[in-house]
Amino acid sequence: MTLDRILIVDDESSLLFLLEKYLQRVGYSVVACSTAADGWRHFQSAPADFALAVIDYSLPDRNGDTLLKELLGVRPELRAVLCSGYPVDISGISPGSGQVEALQKPFTPRMLGDAIQRLLSARAVAAAAI
């Protein structure tokens, strides 16, 4: 069985650690990064390996929506969760319905897990329709 690989980019180290451990515990392979540059570097090394990205909107080196657009430029079918302490408009980011979700902080790991499950289920349905 192949694990879905998830890229997490968040500069809050305690939240990054918590989400990484939770997602590993529920069966995902996780690459955790604290900067947009580090996340971009990991993604570029093997873009096809990632099923989904979880990105904080406010990163010290680049906005999360900018990073997400760059990732989607390489892999347009990538699924993503954009997290923020404020409401985020994702209408200009997501080329397809059910591809990107916004999650407002604070959220529980389970809330993130539910969002990931919805996005990956939508990916499977889209793939089956092809």
Domains detected in the chain: 5-129 (3.40.50.2300)
Q: Long-range pairs for 65-68 at CB < 8 Å and ≥24 separation?
A: 65/90, 65/93, 66/36, 67/9, 67/36, 67/39, 67/40, 68/93, 68/100
User: Which band of pLDDT confidence, cut at 50, 70 and 90, is reported for residue 17?
Assistant: very high
Tens digit of each residue's pLDDT (9 = 90 or more) over 37-55: 999 999 999 999 999 999 9
Tens digit of each residue's pLDDT (9 = 90 or more) over 43-98: 999 999 999 999 999 999 999 999 999 999 999 999 999 999 988 777 777 656 67
